[in-house]
Amino acid sequence: MSPQQNLYELRTGIIGTGFIGPVHIEALRRLGVQVVALCDLPDRVEPAARKLGIPQTFSDYRKMLQSPGLDVVHITAPNRYHCEMSLAALEAGKHCVCEKPLAMNTRQTSKIVQRAAKSSAVFAVNYNVRFYPAVLQMRKLVSRGELGEIIHVNGSYMQDWLFKETDYNWRLLPAEGGKLRAVADIGTHWMDTVSFILDSKIISVFADLSTWHKTRKRPIGEIQTFANAGARVKYASYPVKTEDFASVLLEFGNGARGNLAVSQVAAGRKNCIRVEIYGSRKSVSWCSENPEFLRLGNRDGVNEVAVRGTQAFGPDVASYLDYPPGHVEGFPDTFKMLFRSVYSAIAGLPGEKFHATALDGHHEVAICEAILASHKNRRWIKV
Amino acid sequence: MSPQQNLYELRTGIIGTGFIGPVHIEALRRLGVQVVALCDLPDRVEPAARKLGIPQTFSDYRKMLQSPGLDVVHITAPNRYHCEMSLAALEAGKHCVCEKPLAMNTRQTSKIVQRAAKSSAVFAVNYNVRFYPAVLQMRKLVSRGELGEIIHVNGSYMQDWLFKETDYNWRLLPAEGGKLRAVADIGTHWMDTVSFILDSKIISVFADLSTWHKTRKRPIGEIQTFANAGARVKYASYPVKTEDFASVLLEFGNGARGNLAVSQVAAGRKNCIRVEIYGSRKSVSWCSENPEFLRLGNRDGVNEVAVRGTQAFGPDVASYLDYPPGHVEGFPDTFKMLFRSVYSAIAGLPGEKFHATALDGHHEVAICEAILASHKNRRWIKV
Amino acid sequence: MSPQQNLYELRTGIIGTGFIGPVHIEALRRLGVQVVALCDLPDRVEPAARKLGIPQTFSDYRKMLQSPGLDVVHITAPNRYHCEMSLAALEAGKHCVCEKPLAMNTRQTSKIVQRAAKSSAVFAVNYNVRFYPAVLQMRKLVSRGELGEIIHVNGSYMQDWLFKETDYNWRLLPAEGGKLRAVADIGTHWMDTVSFILDSKIISVFADLSTWHKTRKRPIGEIQTFANAGARVKYASYPVKTEDFASVLLEFGNGARGNLAVSQVAAGRKNCIRVEIYGSRKSVSWCSENPEFLRLGNRDGVNEVAVRGTQAFGPDVASYLDYPPGHVEGFPDTFKMLFRSVYSAIAGLPGEKFHATALDGHHEVAICEAILASHKNRRWIKV
Amino acid sequence: MSPQQNLYELRTGIIGTGFIGPVHIEALRRLGVQVVALCDLPDRVEPAARKLGIPQTFSDYRKMLQSPGLDVVHITAPNRYHCEMSLAALEAGKHCVCEKPLAMNTRQTSKIVQRAAKSSAVFAVNYNVRFYPAVLQMRKLVSRGELGEIIHVNGSYMQDWLFKETDYNWRLLPAEGGKLRAVADIGTHWMDTVSFILDSKIISVFADLSTWHKTRKRPIGEIQTFANAGARVKYASYPVKTEDFASVLLEFGNGARGNLAVSQVAAGRKNCIRVEIYGSRKSVSWCSENPEFLRLGNRDGVNEVAVRGTQAFGPDVASYLDYPPGHVEGFPDTFKMLFRSVYSAIAGLPGEKFHATALDGHHEVAICEAILASHKNRRWIKV
């Protein structure tokens, strides 16, 4: 009996129908998982369910959690709901995939960690960047010692979708997104990814945060993440306190030092994650805009380019890539692979799992709090 | 009512369980299409169906065609079966997606074209490269005149999976794959793509074909496309007459001239399609290894890079891309988009369709025959 | 005593003050060679000598050849003068560097080859592309067998400086530039370079030539190569018969096959030479726009990037590169290195020499004649 | 009368014959400047002068300064001599080009600034990176407002020539190179370049410095910068206190914030300078490994690539580039252009000058002192 077929029995419900909910649904379907229920506000859930082809709908997530035959819940609602939903899902005995950040603060995330520790359910936080095969492979390069000791890590996460003062999204509002924005929304992806690669936590931070648009203009009416504003929109001004860009210096538990630049006002960069890891034997760099290639640097010999899926890429990550080399796997595929990890864990299948746990999610929120404290106090802060 | 939801009603059966069959299945599931039946040789179909989660199985494709409630058939069996299966599917009144090449020769493809012309069913040939959003966009650039008149087109399709004399696949055998190999298998992807972009057929060809490994070694036992041979394999020698690499010069109906290099023995190139189109106003180039970017060349002004999904990329192809700019869509996504085109046509939904027709598939086979004749006669041949 | 210091004694005269003459002068000065004389039409030579800081001037090159103390002559006048000047320089016992093409036809070039063979002087043709360190290194990779046997070679040489019908240069006129233009002017650079790398002559060609602008507009008054036309220019129409772009298929003496695309109407490509060499062990590719890097392709292992000047780049070419890795050497440096080869030969210094000889220059002209014959007869032609 | 010819009258002496002295000499010769004198230790200067073809030699730089007919002095001796040599050159009324850093500390550099202010001689510090045409062009983009207001600047300067514990150079010794190393040697190039582009000084810094090799092994005998150690070398251990890598956060006078990563232990990076400038209208990025291209980022429109020397590149920098687009100018060319700026100033020629002044050189040393103080105190320090 093939491993994947066990996944065909699993039944999943999704809370949230914004940008990322449908991404989850599509990825689950690629795995053959049955997406049976959808939950959102009453006026949203019905049209979304029709559009997405989901049979059952709920406007109260607690009711969905009580519906029979549901194995797994995905939380893709705005950040401020993550805590109560995560706790309720665990309480209901459901396996759970929660979008990042895990919750609004460490008070909340600690609760989730504690509750998850008492549960036999699988609880995952949706740090999907881990699941680019090149990222998994970087982790293997580090763990096999192929890079030597890690000296320093540099990189950035750059976007431009909030470049204009008229660009609007709920993440801009602290009450919905949290006190940090660029760092929390995309910076934590980078930090989780690098911690994952190094298998070493961030233990100390220094941060310089800046808000470029201190006042923004909000279109009257709500807008989806990444959706383009139409013409003839009316705007209302509002103050913005969350950061548009940031520099964060890092110290890892293994002694490596890091330097991360984050921006959501970087014209021309759509969603560009760059990681450069410098070791005492070799360096490796990777960019999400061209995700199939790992670039390895050597002092004396040639530099190298490892292509996803080749023999040189290594067998360790073979179960988390599906297409032959040269047939680019992209962003949507990272969700498929993350869910393969989670659902294989749920089904009790063998093989290494790589998804972020509640503790990983908690740690990212703790780092964010340290970053905010560092910025305010203009000094290094321990996480 | 949302367009996509109509697709949830459609029920599909797949013939063939090799490398490409599961690719079709995954893509169909992303669209919410129900894949209900699978057909292959008796010893293959059952384990494949379990692995892939398909409820019904057939070892006789004609029986599958008669099963009730089947709307669409995908033919992913080896090339030599394409003709009879296509004709049978059309006869059974099924919509049909046939893998390329459409059949073994123009005698066969002509029959399919004639039969399809008499049918109200949708018949598509699986030239998926058309469905990279960048390729769709190149077609728009040409049709809107943004490149001016097309002067010349250069490019290549390079692979290395048949680089070694011990690399084996059924495509190496003329009886299964046809008299042309590199040109037919991958060269036709390039030629279909460029004809599609230019909206102009290839009318004349000059070809230089070469077989590097005139003798190859076949492992005893069959091997799947792109699967790596294991250790300690026993080999039997066999002569190879199909070409390992080729240069093909082209004349298009619109007067543009083309130059295509094809190779399956190009060390280090995994699956690299490159297209460069030089117009009287502007040039554009694209490479499948980094598919999100179109590179536009200007004589006096700056050169340009158009990123998939941005405003600059143009609204024309918006319904054939799903993820925001910077969130790379890759090879698997082209299948989703191709099937979106086909199934939207089946469901009678509005919007432009871009999939290759039986006539397009026939034309590619006709070009292959002209290429073979040109090589043998060492002169230009009209298609 | 250091090798280079011998060069400080050598005294050189330059014939021609267009685009490329000053390039020669600057490169010679980098080597410490004394440029003592300049020759051009009377109205040109004086201002040029003042601008370039050359003490002696001549309006008759024969007089310059008779001036005492001159060791070397560089011919940078238009193509139609190359033959008589080369013969006269050899007759006068001068060492000679002649710009490519060596002359207008093989009748002329044969004479030069014969005359040079009887002379003890060094005679070089200015194929500077050989002297990118990466190109020298590719030659070494081939000769050391690191690529294995050479299967096929692909590439292109693309420019856009003759993109517009109003772009003008004497090369457009067959009487001054010859019957071939794009192929002769830039295509021969590519063919010489690849023959040099493979150490194997081109023995057979098939060509498809095209003239995009069948009529061009010439500004009244002369214009220098690469100079931009100013505003308010008056134009006169004239017919053009030389090719704007071409595809050339090649057979090399060692059995390798080649495919070259050449264009001077390729919008956005300023001066882009690309070479891809596919061997039975490894492939290598290089592009002149980013000349410091060789990209090596492997079937099973990682692909590789060799950086100019590193240990991995190999010691063989160390005497033809001056700056450490990462400190880019570019186009001007190729002239310095070519002249280092020539003048080291003149000075009788040890070390390998790589410059093109009269015979090499003759062979390129012979290939051009074969290309023209192939295009006219639409068939393969032996060189 | 052409501007450049005035430079042919100027006579220059060089102090120092290490890696960079010959680079100066070659660049001066390209401009036609007469290099007439060379100065170094007695056992070094004679062989160097023979090798480099310089007629006069000195082992005492003060004597060279008194020799008649010398117009300009270039100081390319180790850092600790810069101050006394600069002051002596100014005292002797010579024009002076001093290698960076200007001196060992601001006490010294202040003296030079004061002395230079009283002199009518031209005094330049050799920050050559400014003279990549792409860098000059970035300055123009900023000054013309094409990028809008500058939001943030990111980048790095990475090398690997001190990667191994056995890599040795005098810069590793604080007594010769100063208390900072990676930041002073290469970081100041980046900071000078970005300040130059923005036309805005760095006013505040935060730094995190690290020494990877706390003990290194020194070969017995001296070694030149960038020279490779031979085999069978004997080593003596010595402690190292200067930093191998660093992160520096910056505040510019115009309000822009910066993030710089510097490393000399970055395997595979030979000499890689990267600059990314994010403005309120547009972004621009550049990398010294591929110096001909500026990459411009836009939020809504296409991204852009401006090629050196094209019309799109702008006329402002035309006098500081010599070769047509596509004919790569590299590292050696930046020296030529820097000296063109300096010597044009000396000759009183019109046109904009871009070389760094004594005050610029002083400011870089002041920044280094602030960086060291920031690292020690773990807080932001004003420059």
pLDDT tens-place string over residues D33-88:
999 999 999 999 999 999 999 999 999 999 999 999 999 999 999 999 999 999 99
* B134 contacts in chain D (CB < 8 Å): none
Write down the pLDDT at residue A316: 81
Query: CB pairs below 8 Å between A and B: how many?
Result: 120
Residue pLDDT, tens place only, C45-100: 999 999 999 999 999 999 999 999 999 999 999 999 999 999 999 999 999 999 99
Can you say whether the dihedral through the CA atoms of B300, B305, B306, B312 is positive or negative?
negative
Under the banding of pLDDT at 50, 70 and 90, the label for residue D128 is: very high
pLDDT at A4 exceeding the cut of 80: no
With CB atoms and an 8 Å threshold, state whether D32 touches C53: yes
**What pLDDT is attached to residue D323?**
96
Q: Convert the pLDDT of each residue in C97-148 to its tens digit.
A: 999 999 999 999 999 999 999 999 999 999 999 999 999 999 999 999 999 9
- Which residue out of B259, B264, B379, B382 would a mutagenesis test of the C interface target, given it has the greatest number of C Cβ atoms within 10 Å? B259
Tell me the per-residue pLDDT of B117-145, one tens digit each, with 9 for 90 and over: 999 999 999 999 999 999 999 999 999 99
Is residue B314 very low, low, confident or very high in pLDDT (cuts 50, 70, 90)? confident
Confidence at residue D1, expressed as pLDDT on a 0 to 100 scale = 37
Q: Of A159, A289, A307, which has the smallest distance from its Cβ to B292's Cβ?
A: A289
Find all residues with CB under 8 Å of B68, minimum gap 6, and list them.
none
**Percentage, residues of chain D above pLDDT 70:** 96
| For residue C228, pLDDT beyond 80 | no
**DSSP three-state, residue C138:** helix
Closest to A353 measured CA to CA, from A375, A320, A313: A320
- Judged on CB neighbours under 10 Å (0-12, 13-18, 19+), D145 is exposed
> Helices marked H in chain C — which ranges?
20-30, 42-52, 61-66, 82-91, 106-117, 133-143, 174-177, 182, 188-198, 331-346, 358-377
Lowest mean pLDDT among A142-146, B132-136, B165-169, D331-335: B165-169
Distance from CA of C266 to the nearest CA of A (A): 26
Q: What is the mean pLDDT of residues A344-370?
A: 97
Residue B315: which pLDDT band, with cuts at 50, 70 and 90? confident
Please tell me the total number of residues recorded for chain D in this structure.
383
Q: Whole-angstrom Cα distance, residue B149 to residue B130?
A: 21
Distance in angstroms (rounded) separating the CA atoms of residues B143 and B261: 26
Take residue B184 and report the two structure tokens written for it. 């037919």
Cβ atoms B283, B153 nearer than 8 A: no
Instruction: Tell me the C-alpha distance between B160 and C321, whole Å.
Output: 33
* pLDDT band, residue A313 (cuts 50/70/90): confident
Cα C333 from Cα C339, distance rounded (Å) = 10
Enumerate neighbours of B (3 or more CB pairs within 8 A).
Answer: A, C, D
pTM of the predicted model as reported, rounded to 2 decimal places: 0.95
- What is the number of residues in chain A? 383
* pLDDT score of D222: 58
Residues of A with CB under 8 A from a CB of C: 295-296, 298, 300-307, 310-312
Characterise D348 by phi-psi region: left (phi > 0), alpha (psi -120 to 50), beta (else): left
Q: Is the pLDDT of residue D133 over 70?
A: yes
Interface partners of D (3+ CB pairs, < 8 Å)?
A: A, B, C
Tell me: pLDDT of C231 over 70: no
Q: In the prediction, which pLDDT does A234 show?
A: 83
How many C-beta atoms surround the C-beta of residue D5 within 10 A? 15
Kindly indicate the confidence band of residue B1, based on its pLDDT and cuts at 50, 70 and 90.
very low
ipTM of the complex as predicted: 0.94
CB neighbour list of residue B266: distance below 8 Å, 6 or more residues apart: B158, B159, B160, B163, B245, B272, C276, C278, C283, C297
- Rounded to whole angstroms, the Cα distance separating D192 from D203 reads 13
Q: Assess whether pLDDT exceeds 50 at residue B115.
A: yes
Under DSSP, is residue C235 helix (H, G, I), strand (E, B) or coil?
strand
Does residue D266 surpass a pLDDT of 50?
Answer: yes
The pLDDT score that the predictor gives to residue B11 is 96
Arithmetic mean of pLDDT over chain C: 94
Mean pLDDT of A264-275: 98
Mean pLDDT of C289-295: 96
Cα(A70)–Cα(A61) distance, rounded to whole angstroms?
12
At residue A170, the pLDDT reads: 83
3-class secondary-structure state, position C230: coil
Q: Quick check: B151 and C212 in contact, CB under 8 A?
A: yes
Q: Rounded to an integer, what distance in angstroms lies between the CA atom of residue C248 and that of residue C200?
A: 17
Residue pointed to by tokens 């129409």: C237
Q: Using beta carbons and an 8 Å cutoff, which residues of D are at the interface with C?
A: 1-2, 4-5, 8, 19, 23, 26, 29-30, 32, 47, 50-53, 159, 161, 226, 228, 269-272, 288-292, 307, 309-311, 322-333
Per-chain mean pLDDT for chain A: 94
Residue of A264, A327, A329, A335 best to disrupt the B interface, most CBs of B under 10 A: A327
Structure tokens at A178: 């949290």
Distance from CA of residue B230 to its chain's centroid? Answer: 28
Check whether C323 has a pLDDT greater than 70: yes
Q: How far is C276 from chain A (nearest CA, A)?
A: 17
Give the distance, in angstroms, between the CA of residue A33 and the centroid of all CA atoms in the same chain.
21
Spatial separation of the C-alpha atoms in residues B141 and B146, rounded to whole Å: 5
- Beta strands, E only, chain D: 11-15, 34-39, 56-58, 72-75, 95-98, 123-125, 150-158, 202-210, 215-219, 235-239, 245-252, 257-263, 272-279, 283-287, 293-297, 303-307, 381-382
Kindly report the nearest CA distance between residue C288 and chain D, in angstroms: 8
At C36, the amino acid letter reads V
Q: How far apart are the first and last CA of chain A?
A: 46
Q: Which of A363-372, B211-220, B230-239, C267-276 has the lowest mean pLDDT?
A: B230-239
Average pLDDT over chain B reads 94
CB distance A255 to D141 below 8 Å: no
Q: What pLDDT does residue A2 have?
A: 47
How many A/C residue pairs have CB atoms within 8 Å?
40
Q: Which residue has the higher pLDDT, D230 or B178?
A: B178
Q: Strands D272-279 and D95-98, how do they pair?
A: unpaired
pLDDT computed for residue D4 by the predictor: 60
- pLDDT score for B226: 61
Alpha-carbon distances, residue B154 vs A100, B193, B266, C157 (angstroms): 45, 12, 18, 12
Q: Give the 3-state secondary structure of chain A.
A: CCHHHHHHHCEEEEECCCCHHHHHHHHHHHCCCEEEEEECCHHHHHHHHHHHCCCEEECCHHHHHHCCCCCEEEECCCHHHHHHHHHHHHHCCCEEEECCCCCCCHHHHHHHHHHHHCCCCCEEECCHHHHCHHHHHHHHHHHCCCCCCEEEEEEEEECCCCCCCCCCCHHHCHHHHCCCCHHHHHHHHHHHHHHHHHCCCEEEEEEEEECCCCEEEEECCCCCCCCCCCCCCCEEEEECCCCCEEEEEEEECCCCEEEEEEECCCCCCCCEEEEEEEECCCEEEEECCCCCEEEEECCCCCEEEEECCCHHHCHHHHHHCCCCCCCCCCHHHHHHHHHHHHHHHHCCCCCCCCCEEHHHHHHHHHHHHHHHHHHHHCCCEEC
| Site from C328, C335, C340 to mutate, D interface, most D CB atoms within 10 angstroms | C328
Three-class DSSP category at D232: coil
Amino acid at D310: T
> Which residues of chain B form beta strands (DSSP E)?
11-15, 34-39, 56-58, 72-75, 95-98, 123-125, 150-158, 202-210, 215-219, 235-239, 245-252, 257-263, 272-279, 283-287, 293-297, 303-307, 381-382
Mutate to test the interface with D, among B138, B293, B296, B305 (most CBs of D within 10 A): B305
Closest chain C C-alpha to D383 CA, distance in angstroms: 31
For B231, the token pair is 């250790």
- Per the prediction, chain D carries an average pLDDT of 94
Within 8 A of D156 by CB-CB distance, chain A residues are 154
Determine what percent of chain B is predicted with pLDDT higher than 70. Answer: 96
Query: Is the bond leading into A101 cis (omega within 30 degrees of zero)?
Result: yes
Encoded tokens for B291: 């598919």
Look-up: residue for tokens 């890759």?
B330
Cβ atoms A163, A264 nearer than 8 A: yes
Q: What's the pLDDT at D173?
A: 83
Among B298, B304, B311, beta carbon nearest to D300:
B311
Please give the structure tokens belonging to residue B144.
Answer: 């809107």
Q: Alpha-carbon distance D342 to D324, whole Å? A: 23
- Compute the distance between CA of residue D255 and CA of residue A357 in angstroms, rounded to an integer: 40
Distance from CA of D205 to the nearest CA of C (A): 28
DSSP string, C5-41: GGGGG-EEEEE--SSHHHHHHHHHHHTT-EEEEEE--
Which H or E element spans position C292? none
Cα–Cα distance list, B194 to A82, B142, D17 (Å): 48, 11, 58
Instruction: Give the span between the Cα atoms of C159 and C270, in whole angstroms.
Output: 5
- Given pLDDT bands bounded at 50, 70 and 90, which one contains residue A88? very high
Whether D223 shows a pLDDT value over 70: the answer reads no
CB contacts, 8 Å: A18 with chain B = none
Minimal Cα–Cα distance from C373 to chain D, Å? 31
CA D115 to chain centre: 21
